[in-house]
Structure 1
Amino acid sequence: MLAIVAIIFTLVLGLFGFCMYMIFWQQTYYSVNIESYHRDNETLTEAYEKEKTLRSFLQNKLAEEKMTMIRELLDKDSLISRHRIEREKLLHEKTQALHQVQKLQHEKDSILNIIRSLQRVPE
């Protein structure tokens, strides 16, 4: 009889010990998981903030590059316009010079004709 009581007492004590072990293990497991979750959450928050900062920086850099490209294009366009205006001005001056040369050529021909006609006339 004493042996049966001892066996039952041992089984109850073993069951109690097993239950205490499981409770302790679950508390440890969940506390470790909660700490890990908080650590991961902080890491994700930091990563998100870094990504947001980097994205903002890259957007600003891209906007600056676009503005630089627009300025360069406007500068090139104004340079092309200035060259076009200068070319048209030079073309106009060339046309005026050609008209002047033609006018002088015509006057020269007129003077030569007058000289020839005077040379033909007997005195």
Structure 2
Amino acid sequence: MTILELREKRNKAWEAAKAFVETKRDNDGLLSAEDAATYAEIEQKVQNYSAEIACMEEMEAMETELNKPVNTPITGKPMNSGKAPEKKSGRASDEYRDAMLHAIRNNFRNIRNWKGT
């Protein structure tokens, strides 16, 4: 039985309980002892439906939690962690590295002007 079906049954039982009370009241607006006992049984049935619905919702939430992946896969570079790369300065900059590699490859005959700070 699904949660939706249990909710519908609970609503029908509650409507039946309200209708029962309205039809069984006497002139003073009170219920007899037998009718009060019957109403208590109907009300207990509504509470039982509510408890079963709560139990099934907790089970569904637990199932959803257990079906989640245990960990998330690494989709980017681990050191990057999704942040924009920091702009390096001085000898650590990409411009300095490119200029130094160019100079080494040309045996320092053709040196570029590095624009560093």
Q: Same fold (TM over 0.5)?
A: no
Q: Which has the higher contact order (CA 8 A, sep 6+)?
A: 2
The structure with the largest alpha-carbon Rg is: 1
Higher helix share: 1
TM-score by length of 2: 0.42
TM-score by length of 1: 0.40
